[in-house]
Structure 1
Amino acid sequence: MHTEASLITRGTPAFRRTNLALFAAGFSTFALLYCVQPLMPLFSAEFGLGAAASSLSLSVTTGLLAVAMLVASSLSEALGRKPVMVASLLASAALTIAAAFVPGWHGLLLVRTLEGVALSGLPAVAMAYVGEEMEKGSIGLAMGLYIGGSAVGGMGGRLISGILADFFSWRVAIGALGLVCLLAALAFWKSLPPSRNFRPRPLALGNLLARFVEHCRDEGLPWLFLEGFLLMGSFVTLYNYVGYRLLAPPYELGQTAVGSIFAVYLIGIFSSAWVGNLASRLGRRRVLWAVILLQLAGLGLTLATPLPLVIAGIAVFTFGFFGAHSIVSSWVGLRALEGKAQASSLYLFFYYLGSSLVGSAGGLFWTAFGWPGLAALLAALLATALLVAFRLAALAPLPQNRPKTT
């Protein structure tokens, strides 16, 4: 059991170092994950690939990431949180640098597959670290800053690789980003305080499966997992297909203008930290449903015809998503007093599953019904997410023999 004195609290040097480390980790993870997205047409041209084959440069990484997280989180229970996260960041940066030198397409795919495994040691483990080491009132802000770093990384990885590839080549772009993220990994290693409340547990398959089953039997955790599926599924689907709408009449924007829409990811930096902090003060139960309603309002604005209203709708939708994700992800760490890393990995497994399944299904709605049909799908997902938020708000208080964390 930890004591209040051992927890990291806001306003202290340890809190500042932790937030710097978490921001660097979030940036590095998502910059490396998504940096290949703007390079896919270049892969097609150089290796003679169709668009679907070129997209494997991203899908093999995200697919392996979702599955490998379930194992990586358990490794951290035995080996420690910080060592697993440091190894993850260093290995993924090194693999990205190696990707700049591989001679063929299959070699690039192999490196990107290994990178998915390497990156799996960060997201769920970071959530577990925050849940163990942070004082309860500081968790929302800390998790919000980590997610803010993720937003900057997701946007920055796309922008940096796209610009460098324009001026030089995709190999220079990937290699340079790998070097940047190697520096971020070293900053993380130096800045993150060692765990003080972690207690290692032997790695045993039977115990691992039992812990997963235990989390799925919890009164609240399965609803949080479902919420992650719905939130990420709706967010990725909107961004997957809004470009198609803006390239078509009446807008007929160019690729550069459409790509600049990713700049609204910057809103996620503010939203995740501000909403996470607000939820820590007012209560997650009181704030989650409100930011989901904000997403619905943003979605409604995208149905308008004037371009400024469409962009405003995307911005409001993005604000709501990053705020909701910061609440739900921190809530998982608070709800699971044992096996925090496994609980976080289950949440992220469903989170990325939503991205994959709903993101693909959204294409059918776009093709058949256009933007109104796609918006109807997203509205249904968010309405379900709102019902889940109300269900979470109605959770019974935790038993008295457990710390009251929600």
Structure 2
Amino acid sequence: MIVTRSRAWWRATLALCLGSILVFVNLYAPQPLLPDLRQTYGVSTLGVSLVMSVATLALAAALLVFGPLSDAIGRGGIMRVTLLVTGLCSLGLALAPSFEVLLGLRLVQGFVLGGLPAVAIAWMGDEFERPALMAAVGLYIGANTLGGIGGRLIGGGIGEIGGASASFLTVGLVTLAGVALFWRLLPAPRQFTPRRFELRGALMDLLGHLRHPPLLAAYLLGGINFLIFINQYSYITFRLAEEPFGLSARWLGMIFLTYLGGTLSSVFSGRLTYHLSQPACMTLGILILMTGTCITLVNSLAWVTVGLTVNAVGFFLAHSMASSWVSRQAQRARGSASALYLVFYYLGASLGSLWLEPFWQQGGWLGVVIGSWLLLTVTLGIALWLWRSERDLGQPSLAR
């Protein structure tokens, strides 16, 4: 098993963090362009949100394929091949002649984007000792945020200069270069034991995870939290593109630097488990997210930025705890368990616009805040239930 801070640990962690960055650069590059795309194609806010929703929905569906498949054929090959196809899809997006073709390519890209997220944490669970796993997961989640920031900065910055096609071309070329490095860095697995793939067995594994209350609770918590968090960013771009703010695509991309709050909270989340249980950390993260959502109501760009930063701190603290909770609780078919968490996670992202759109239409940003709080009270209740259940069972916060 790979131990914390060893040469093998650093090499594997660097590879998986790089892969994570590439995934989220590709996924989120179009987000700061949504207001411009809405005007260009003459579609509604709900219609243009499909640029993000079809990708995340396809990603969620792909996780049901890649997770169980990785338990049978291994995880490294899946990550390498899907990252390569992801880069090729971005090059194709640069040449898309219409909005319909753009959505079709995003659907395909979303599916292959699911390859690495479906299996990365399971790969770590196979190869790393538990302390090494917790340290690596925090860095990996932090890399998610860096990828999200990078994608939006590229999308907004390059898009303002050369349009959406230039953004997609840049992302595609960066991705292909990163894939070459990822291919070289990722070590060969030593602890993985393949299982014969059987559809019935894979379905029974998934059903077993859903029947395990702590796992189901973590799935719901992660999915609902992400539903709110990521779609708040979509609607805040519409708010900030209008008066009195009037931000251009480049400056809308800069707003996503607030993700850095999530990068920091993810990296240091492992240390927090020395003092608090994972469910307690989830509870704290949700309370912080609720607080940040309220701060964004202030009609000031500075305070909106503060609120979004606070949101990122809270969300990624809860997310890193919930995702590692799944790895800790799964007794078998760890790849399927991790993949199922991400199915809920990205399914939440895909459905978020359907939930928040009526609140946006009726009440603007205040409506979005109200809609957010309604669901965050649900995840707060779930986290408190997990916290109480763990205390009743007398489980330690984390074995180090």
Post-superposition shift, 1:376? 2.5
Match of 1:50 in 2: 43
Residue ranges of structure 1 left out of the alignment (5+ in a row): 1-5
User: How many angstroms apart in 1 are the aligned matches of 2:89 and 2:380?
Assistant: 40
Q: How does 1:265-304 map to 2 (within 5 A)?
A: 265-279=259-273, 282-304=276-298
Post-superposition shift, 1:342? 1.2
CA deviation vs aligned residue, 1:242-264 (integer Å, no higher than 9, x gap): 23444556x43423444421111
Question: TM-score of the superposition, structure 2-length normalised?
Answer: 0.89
Taking structure 1 as reference, are residues 299 and 44 closer, same or farther at Cα in structure 2, changes over 3 Å only?
closer
Taking structure 1 as reference, are residues 173 and 253 closer, same or farther at Cα in structure 2, changes over 3 Å only?
closer
Which residue of 327, 333, 336 corresponds with 2:330? Answer: 336
User: How many angstroms apart in 2 are the aligned matches of 1:138 and 1:90?
Assistant: 28
CA contact (8 A) 1:138 1:280 kept: no
Post-superposition shift, 1:24? 0.6
Post-superposition shift, 1:300? 2.7
Please state if 1:171 is matched with 2:165.
yes
> What amino acid maps onto 2:137 in structure 1?
M
Moved more, 254-263 or 173-182: 254-263
CA deviation vs aligned residue, 1:3-42 (integer Å, no higher than 9, x gap): xxx2x22221111112211211111001111223344566
Which residue of 383, 392, 395 corresponds with 1:389? Answer: 383
CA contact (8 A) 1:297 1:317 kept: yes
Match of 1:19 in 2: 13
User: How many angstroms apart in 2 are the aligned matches of 1:265 and 1:308?
Assistant: 15
Match of 1:3 in 2: none
CA contact (8 A) 1:27 1:149 kept: yes
CA contact (8 A) 2:289 2:314 kept: yes
Post-superposition shift, 1:305? 4.1
Moved more, 272-281 or 210-219: 272-281
Please state if 1:128 is matched with 2:122.
yes
Residue ranges of structure 2 left out of the alignment (5+ in a row): none
Match of 1:230 in 2: 224
3-state SS of paired residue (1:389): helix
Match of 1:157 in 2: 151
User: How many angstroms apart in 1 are the aligned matches of 2:99 and 2:82?
Assistant: 24
Match of 2:59 in 1: 65
User: How many angstroms apart in 1 are the aligned matches of 2:372 and 2:34?
Assistant: 27
Match of 1:207 in 2: 201
Which residue of 52, 63, 69 corresponds with 1:75? Answer: 69
Please state if 1:261 is matched with 2:255.
yes
Moved more, 222-231 or 137-146: 137-146
Number of residue pairs the alignment of both structures matches: 395
User: How many angstroms apart in 1 are the aligned matches of 2:68 and 2:399?
Assistant: 23
Match of 2:22 in 1: 28
Report the aligned-residue RMSD: 2.7
> What amino acid maps onto 1:389 in structure 2?
A
Post-superposition shift, 1:74? 1.2
CA contact (8 A) 2:138 2:270 kept: yes
Post-superposition shift, 1:220? 0.7
Taking structure 1 as reference, are residues 398 and 123 closer, same or farther at Cα in structure 2, changes over 3 Å only?
farther
Taking structure 1 as reference, are residues 288 and 201 closer, same or farther at Cα in structure 2, changes over 3 Å only?
same
User: How many angstroms apart in 2 are the aligned matches of 1:142 and 1:280?
Assistant: 16
Taking structure 1 as reference, are residues 384 and 146 closer, same or farther at Cα in structure 2, changes over 3 Å only?
same
> What amino acid maps onto 1:122 in structure 2?
L
Moved more, 375-384 or 99-108: 99-108
User: How many angstroms apart in 2 are the aligned matches of 1:306 and 1:38?
Assistant: 19
Moved more, 368-377 or 194-203: 368-377
Taking structure 1 as reference, are residues 204 and 64 closer, same or farther at Cα in structure 2, changes over 3 Å only?
same
Post-superposition shift, 1:145? 1.5
Taking structure 1 as reference, are residues 281 and 122 closer, same or farther at Cα in structure 2, changes over 3 Å only?
farther
3-state SS of paired residue (2:55): helix
Match of 2:113 in 1: 119
User: How many angstroms apart in 1 are the aligned matches of 2:145 and 2:312?
Assistant: 10
User: How many angstroms apart in 2 are the aligned matches of 1:276 and 1:69?
Assistant: 25
3-state SS of paired residue (1:220): helix
Which residue of 137, 142, 147 corresponds with 2:136? Answer: 142
Match of 1:355 in 2: 349
CA contact (8 A) 2:25 2:147 kept: yes
Question: TM-score of the superposition, structure 1-length normalised?
Answer: 0.88
CA contact (8 A) 2:52 2:350 kept: no
CA contact (8 A) 1:152 1:266 kept: yes
3-state SS of paired residue (2:389): coil
Post-superposition shift, 1:107? 4.4
Post-superposition shift, 1:390? 1.6
User: How many angstroms apart in 2 are the aligned matches of 1:382 and 1:109?
Assistant: 30
Q: In percent, how many aligned pairs have the same letter? A: 35
CA contact (8 A) 1:276 1:323 kept: no
CA contact (8 A) 1:233 1:358 kept: yes
> What amino acid maps onto 1:112 in structure 2?
R
> What amino acid maps onto 1:384 in structure 2?
V
> What amino acid maps onto 1:254 in structure 2?
L
